[in-house]
């Protein structure tokens, strides 16, 4: 039995890890390490989303790619903020806010997959209405 890690699951796991890194880790160094691992997971999810866009280009896959890519960049910025102060006892200000915003971006990007976005032009979508009105 083979299991594959899908892009939405990887993105959610990485964003949750980044958002809870400061809560899970006893020191700033371990929080930095968890944030760096979360950034790698989010970049993996962004690459998987890119492959999905290459296979099937539609609005939902592009929004998921944009959300995963932006979240990966936000978590990398979080790690960059943490890196100069890895030996300090407390995390720098603003570090966890970026990770929390990354979690919100991932959830928004992945919720676009649940929406029934129709890529047809408005004229084609309203064709049944025009047919009923013409009777």
Instruction: Quote the DSSP letter at residue 94.
Output: T
> pTM value?
0.77
Closest by Cα among 28, 16, 41 to 83:
28
Burial category of 109 from C-beta neighbours within 10 Å (exposed 0-12, middle 13-18, buried 19 and up): buried
How confident is residue 1, by pLDDT bands cut at 50, 70 and 90? very low
pLDDT of 129 above 90: no
pLDDT of 52 above 50: yes
Average pLDDT, the chain: 83
**Residue range 56-105, pLDDT digits in tens:** 887 788 888 999 999 999 999 988 888 887 787 776 666 778 889 999 99
């Amino acid at each position: 039995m083979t299991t594959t890690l899908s892009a939405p699951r990887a993105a959610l796991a990485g964003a949750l890890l980044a958002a809870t890194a400061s809560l899970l880790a006893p020191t700033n160094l371990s929080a930095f390490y968890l944030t760096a691992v979360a950034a790698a997971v989010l970049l993996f999810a962004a690459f998987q989303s890119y492959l999905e866009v290459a296979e099937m280009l539609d609005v939902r896959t592009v929004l998921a790619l944009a959300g995963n890519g932006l979240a990966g960049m936000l978590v990398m910025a979080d790690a960059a903020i943490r890196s100069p102060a890895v030996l300090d006892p407390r995390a720098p200000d603003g570090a966890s806010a970026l990770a929390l915003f990354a979690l919100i971006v991932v959830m928004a990007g992945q919720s676009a997959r649940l929406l029934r976005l129709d890529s047809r032009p408005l004229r084609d979508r309203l064709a049944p209405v025009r047919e009923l009105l013409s009777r």
